[in-house]
Amino acid sequence: MKIAILPGDGIGTEIVAEAVKVLHALDLKFESETALVGGAAYEAHGHPLPEATLKLAKEADAVLFGAVGDWKYDKLERALRPEQAILGLRKNLGLFANFRPAICYEELVGASSLKPELIAGLDILIIRELTGDIYFGQPRGRRTAVDGHFPGSEEAFDTMRYSRPEVERIARVAFEAARKRSKRVTSVDKANVLETFQFWKDIVTEVGKEYPDVELDHMYVDNAAMQLVKAPKKFDVVVTGNMFGDILSDEAAMLTGSIGMLPSASLNASNQGLYEPSHGSAPDIAGKGIANPLATILSAAMMLRFSLNQAAAADRIESAVKAVLASGLRTADIHSSGTTKVGTREMGDAVVAAI
C-alpha cells in the first residue's frame, strides 16, 4: 500500500499530521511519501501541482490531501492558483466519483443552525460527479458575442456537457451505494431548462431499471436546495453533476453545523482515490494549533475502506472518533459549554489513545 501525503496550505499541514499519526497507530504496513501542493508548491516550484507531485499521486494507491488556498494567491493568474491543483488531480487521476457524507453526530446537534428535531440523526450521502460538467467542458474563454442580447460586445463563456458513459458510471456508483444503505436515490437535475440535465435524467432513469430494488426519484436543483433546508432527513443518497454537487454538498455539510467533522472521498474507476476533509484551508487559524483534525482523520478511514481494502482498520478509526466525542473532547469549532476544549494535537492524541 502506497499513500501520497499532500498536506497543502493553511491548516492542511496541522490536520494531516494528526491523520498520519492515527494511521501509524493502526500497525498497518504502508509506504508513504509527502509532497507539496497548492500555494506551498507554487512558492517552492512555481506551480500548484508540480510534475513530481502529480507523478507521486498517480503512482500511489491513495492520496491523503489536506487543503489548499489562501487569499494571498488571489491575484495570481488562474492557472497558478492553489485550487488548480485539486482540479488537476481530479482530471489527471480520473477521480469521477465524489462521496460527500453529511452526518450530524448526536453530540453535536447543538452546533447546527437548524432546530434539533430537523437535524438530529441526519445521514445523507451526496455523490457528486467530479470530472465532467461545466468544470472541464470545452470550448470556454472570451470572444465577441455573435448572438444574445448584445451582439458585437465582449462576452465570456463556458461549456456544460455530459456524455452517456459519464452519466452511466456515476449513476451506477449511486445505485450501488444506495443498495448498502436505505435503497433510495434522489437524482438532482435542471431538466426543465438544460439539455445536459434532461440527458442526465433520461440516463439515470435508464440505469435505474437495472436496480429495481432501489427507489429513484428526481428533483430540480432549486427545489433540492430548498428541501435540504426544510427537511434534510428526507434525503438518503443524492446523485448530481459537478456544478450542482459543488453547491448542494456544501449546503448539506453546513446544515450539520460541524463541517470540521466531515470527510470526503474522490474515486476513479480502479478505486484509486483522493481523501480530504470537506472544509477548506482556513488561513485565518493556520499555525495556531486549534483546527479540528477529525474530518481529515475520518478521511483517512474512508481511504482505508475504499482504496486500501482495510475495512476493519477504518472501523477502528471511526469507533475511536466516536469514543473521543463521547468523552467530551472538542476543538474550538465544535466546542460548547460542558465540554472540554482541546487543540489539534490533543485531539489527534486522543484518537490514537482510543485506538
Cα angle: 351, vertex 352, 354; to 5 degrees: 65
By CB neighbour count within 10 A (0-12 exposed, 13-18 middle, 19+ buried), where does 164 fall? Answer: exposed
Q: Using the rule CB under 6 A, which residue among 246, 251, 318, 346 binds ligand IPM?
A: 246
By CB neighbour count within 10 A (0-12 exposed, 13-18 middle, 19+ buried), where does 158 fall? Answer: middle
- Contact present, 93 and 57 (Cβ < 8 Å): yes
Q: How far is the CB of 132 from a copy of itself (least distance, A)?
A: 7
161 is in an annotated binding site: no
Q: Look at strands 97-103 and 263-267 and give their pairing.
A: antiparallel
* C-alpha cell at position 67: 487543503
Contacts to a copy of itself from residues 121-140, by CB under 8 A: 131-132, 134-138, 140
- Contact present, 237 and 186 (Cβ < 8 Å): yes
Q: How far is the CB of 156 from ligand IPM (least distance, A)?
A: 17
Residue 343 contact among a copy of itself, ligand IPM, none, beta carbon within 5 to 8 Å by kind: none
Q: How far is the CB of 336 from a copy of itself (least distance, A)?
A: 14
Active site residues: 135, 190, 222, 246, 250
Sign of CA pseudo-dihedral 15, 108, 128, 304: positive
Write the DSSP assignment of 167-234 as a string of letters. Answer: HHHHHHHHHHHHHTTTSEEEEEE-TTT-HHHHHHHHHHHHHHTT-TTSEEEEEEHHHHHHHHHH-GGG
Instruction: Please tell me the distance from the alpha carbon of residue 290 to that of residue 341, in angstroms, as a whole number.
Output: 9
The stretch near a copy of itself (CB under 8 A) out of 8-16, 143-151, 178-186, 305-313 is 143-151
236 is in an annotated binding site: no
313 is in an annotated binding site: no
- Count CB atoms within 10 A of the CB of residue 323: 15
Using rule CB under 6 A, residue 158 touches ligand IPM:
no
The stretch near ligand IPM (CB under 6 A) out of 14-22, 80-88, 118-126, 327-335 is 80-88
For a copy of itself, which is the closer residue by CB, 91 or 183? 91
* C-alpha cell at position 251: 449546503
Site string for a copy of itself, 66-105 (x = CB under 8 A): ------------x--x-x---x------x-x---------
Give the interface with a copy of itself as residue ranges (CB under 8 A).
78, 81, 83, 87, 94, 96, 113-115, 118, 131-132, 134-138, 140-142, 145, 147-150, 153-166, 190, 192-196, 198-200, 221-223, 225-230, 243-244, 246-251, 253-255, 257, 259
Residues that bind ligand IPM (CB under 6 A): 83, 86-87, 192-193, 222, 246
Mark the binding-site residues for NAD(+), compressed into ranges: 280-292
